[in-house]
Structure 1
Amino acid sequence: MTETTKTAPALTGERADLLEQLAKSRFFLRFTANELTDRQAGHRSTVSGLTVGGLIKHVASVEKTWVDFILEGPSAMPDFSAMTEADFAARENDFRLLPGETLEGVLAAYAEVAARTDELVATLPDLDAAQPLPKAPWFDQDAKWSARRVLMHIVAETSQHAGHADIVREAIDGTKSMG
């Protein structure tokens, strides 16, 4: 008896474009960590508190939360309008490697998040499905975002932080992602 395996058809169009841009943005972010030690990945090399490892950790966390939002709606996110200064200060831990965290672990967690997102992009029945945004001072009241809009936001967030990581990495040892 022979088993046959059905292969899913290759994605085309918008979904393929989203996956390609996500992959490119993720590549540049991960590339900034290439050959860094855990110490270097957690090193603040500029006046900001940003580190290469912390930026990767943050992007993974944000991507996971936004994918949860696509699937579960605003309950997947906190009510930002009710957060205190202490809550926001605690969120700063998203941007740094904490004791016991390693670059390898952060990259592995990011790979898991990315795989989940990619699977969602490939299989979500409707990219137009929208959810109301959580309460936050930076969102318009009663605004909704479609899954498509959220995915574009993930691409933008990843690209922006890849640029931050590139600057942080260059200040560590002169290595650049591009140029």
Structure 2
Amino acid sequence: MPGTDTTTFDQPAITGERADLLEALDHHRTMLRRTARDLTDEQAGLRSTASELCVGGIIKHVTSVERVWVAFIQEGLPALGDVTDMTEDDWARRNDEFRMLPGETLAGVLDAYAEVARTTDELVRGLADLDVSHPLPEAPWFEAGARWTARRTLLHIIGETAQHAGHADIIRESLDGALSMA
């Protein structure tokens, strides 16, 4: 049938907990992407509130967060690096995640986000066990000696995506009155 997407037939159907995790993540990703609909590159980089945040920067940040936490599921602690010993350059790079830099386009930011989403979804579909766990780094924002399972890490990614979709929605409404969550 013309126009029918057959890619889902290439993979076994995902059900149960994995389907629920993927559905929740997809929902919040959709809400976040919706905040960028019909924006120009310039608008995607505009600050419209007292915050330093912009829609494009939030999408860049969520992309980075998802990429890092997916690597954590696969590699453990080395994927997170030493979060307690960041240099000024490390902080500057992190701050650049929240802005549209010269030469960046909204289309490019959204493409990078879509690629990370595909990687995450493939991992969730193929991971042997959602109970695989790794220790978290020693940092004041993590409980000492804590470990996160793949499941807990995915829930963290979902929470981050949902929170930042809300931020982006407020910024978008401040830009032009458009509501992405309504």
**TM-score with structure 2 setting the length:** 0.92
Aligned to 1:65: 68
State the SS of the aligned residue for 1:177. Answer: coil
Aligned CA RMSD, in angstroms, stands at 1.2
How big is the shift at 1:85?
5.4
Aligned to 1:28: 31
Residue ranges of structure 1 left out of the alignment (5+ in a row) = 1-5
Q: Distance in 1 between matches of 2:146 and 2:91?
A: 23
Greater CA drift, 74-83 or 158-167: 74-83
Aligned to 1:100: 103
Between the aligned residues of both structures, percent identity stands at: 63
Aligned to 2:6: none
Query: Which amino acid in structure 2 is aligned with residue 23 of structure 1?
Result: D
Query: Which amino acid in structure 2 is aligned with residue 100 of structure 1?
Result: G
Check conservation: 1:18, 1:151, Cα contact below 8 A.
yes
How big is the shift at 1:86?
5.4
Aligned to 2:44: 41
How big is the shift at 1:84?
4.3
State the SS of the aligned residue for 1:81. Answer: coil
Check conservation: 1:80, 1:137, Cα contact below 8 A.
no
Instruction: Write out per-residue CA displacement over residues 49-77 of structure 1, whole angstroms, 9 at most, x where no aligned residue.
Output: 00000000000000000000000011011
How big is the shift at 1:83?
2.1
**TM-score with structure 1 setting the length:** 0.93
Q: Distance in 2 between matches of 1:78 and 1:42?
A: 28
State the SS of the aligned residue for 2:56. Answer: helix
Is 1:137 aligned to residue 140 of structure 2?
yes
| Superposition misfits of 4+ residues, deviation over 4 angstroms | none
Query: Which amino acid in structure 1 is aligned with residue 168 of structure 2?
Result: A
Q: Distance in 1 between matches of 2:156 and 2:176?
A: 30
Q: 2:123 aligns with which of 120, 125, 130?
A: 120
